[in-house]
Structure 1
């Protein structure tokens, strides 16, 4: 773990990877930006080494500048490597490009890994390597990592076969388990009743784990019992109001989010309705329990016409929509249960608490978030606290409900905005060919 971590991409007790290697830059094929790191190279049966993030990290004229696109996420790199028939993929880590330190990589990839049981692809082994270790590896072959990184950030870059032969074996113990998604449906009425708007979020957390101060129960009160309660409250509110929406409303509680969005991925792969009929997803992952705000946020508001609908709904509640620039740089939009549907072209928002709290000075909300991250996030201490504000969670939920009913009754579905990397996926979804 000091220099690299590897894992098997197969459901086999032992796998072995042998073959050549190719440096594919950022490992991106993005026609809308005229970018193809795989142009002119065949990586079938080989291991690809690629940088994380995207070229905009160091050149604001490329992609979306420092705002991370999906092409910069490690999940995309693996998807593209599979599509190209690669046998292995090694991601080159820097803290700046990954937006998290090497310790996070080690912690996330050296314990038990959980994934859906699916048919095997070309990938056999995947992993990460520290940039310092990659630099030493390349130096032994007469190459310079910084020079390759600079070249990879320029338009017209072409993948570089490396004078390396790799061999890696991974032994695993395989166990199988199951969980469930829970779904409810409020039927719509009229010509669009077979379409739907989803209000969803995950109900799982981390179970029983390593004790912290003598407590081993990882409750997940904020993350995400709060979102689960909001979904149930939304369902009750719709039923009690007697509202009959034009499109149906789906109330979805996903399992296995903390294991890698597995519940939502399973739904996206085997949906209960054609994805062309799923008009929008509104995701609730941690509600505001800290007090009333003057603002509210939504990841993905800049990606689709849902952003305008959400802004109007927020104004109706006396709130302005704020933008978390840090979340854009970190790519937070790609990290919760709405995203498997987004990848298949469904417009979505992940609703976030605001940061301007009534009766508190500037920066108070950020301090509360930092305190939560340091002391309670993914710890047993994320439990029910006497000072939680349910009024503020309801304030946030009312904006969600206003957004949902407008989308449910609109003549047309929301659309991706030009410049979004999901325009093509949205078009494919409506053709019935989303993947």
Structure 2
């Protein structure tokens, strides 16, 4: 049984305080359970620790699960418990969940046997399917042409699903036809301009993001060029279709020197760079297609909306985001709407392209910052390059 999030949730002096690091992400707990040889894992859910409600767990874990085919390991099953259920489970073994939660936040804590046996049965049906990432390469010029900067976004959504008000087509206009269009537009702009950068440019349409970053994980596992030669990934996932802003943002700016390159690109477009504090708290950096490559040591960012909309009242962007999540996110209603404007998306894309050019022409690759949890992976990637 494992808690979700970091000890910093209870003690702000630990880790990064309430900002979720990858060590607190539920996927890391599953990975560590495998490394420790666990046969099963139950994650304790609270809305605060998971950063999303129980309904999100239900929608993600009660249907078919998609995984990359891989050799079997010790972990037979993983799942979630609501906090109230977990408390009853602990009590049946003579343990107190709240007390153990507090103890787990202190250095030196060791796992405690619960003394409880649970039994259950699941009948699984395994089906195999194939999909593909789509890549296009614009060759660089000079001695760094073997290296590349990736500009990518996922092209999948949910296809046909449960009908809502008679509509069963899940279009995914914002998530992520908008990002797919941005990647294609960037590729077209580079080709039409005739600009050639030192490093090559790889334009990627990732498959199966909605199934758990499957396409990007497959690319990280079997990259088209050696990982040491991938200088950075710039991810485009849900573009700004709500209007022009005076700022721009991205997930991961605090993780690597990509933040500096992005800031310079934004300044060239006369945009401020702002930080989405809410996204930091909920670990949004770990939830899109740049992340499998980041975990493999490649610096990456995911470009986000600004929040300061030109000619709109304060809070306009938050209102639009809340409405999208409540009314259209992962629903058939995520479709092209007549009031969409594309000048905000163009701002984001211009900053992305400037960032890509800067990295592609720089003598050195971007580096992870000293406090990043991915710095060791980045160092290992560089060591492999020198071996």
Same fold (TM over 0.5): yes
Q: What SS does structure 1 have at the residue aligned with 2:345?
A: helix
With normalisation by structure 2, the TM-score equals 0.98
- By percentage of residues, which structure has more strand? 1
1-side partners of 2:32 and 2:79: how far apart? 15
2-side partners of 1:373 and 1:138: how far apart? 35
- Which stretch of the first structure deviates more once superposed, 284-293 or 96-105? 96-105
Residue 412 (structure 1) aligned with residue 364 (structure 2) = yes
Matches within 5 A, 1:138-177: 138-177=90-129
Residue 401 (structure 1) aligned with residue 356 (structure 2) = no
- Cα distance, 1:197 vs. partner? 0.3
2-side partners of 1:327 and 1:148: how far apart? 28
Matches within 5 A, 1:9-48: none
Match of 1:421 among 366, 369, 373: 373
Residue 313 (structure 1) aligned with residue 276 (structure 2) = no
- Cα distance, 1:166 vs. partner? 4.0
2-side partners of 1:60 and 1:71: how far apart? 15
1-side partners of 2:166 and 2:356: how far apart? 43
Alignment correspondent of 1:43: none
Alignment correspondent of 1:58: 10
Matches within 5 A, 1:28-427: 49-427=1-379
Alignment correspondent of 1:45: none
1-side partners of 2:158 and 2:337: how far apart? 19
Structure 1: 5+ residue stretches without partners: 1-48
How many residue pairs were aligned? 385
1-side partners of 2:280 and 2:355: how far apart? 22
1-side partners of 2:173 and 2:91: how far apart? 49
Q: What SS does structure 1 have at the residue aligned with 2:192?
A: helix
1-side partners of 2:108 and 2:263: how far apart? 39
1:137-179 CA distance string (max 9 Å, x none):
1111111000000000112212222223344332111111111
Q: What SS does structure 2 have at the residue aligned with 1:432?
A: helix
- Cα distance, 1:241 vs. partner? 1.2
Q: What SS does structure 1 have at the residue aligned with 2:344?
A: helix
1-side partners of 2:65 and 2:167: how far apart? 24
**4+ long deviations beyond 3 Å:** 165-168
2-side partners of 1:247 and 1:162: how far apart? 55
1-side partners of 2:118 and 2:318: how far apart? 46
Structure 2: 5+ residue stretches without partners: none
2-side partners of 1:121 and 1:167: how far apart? 21
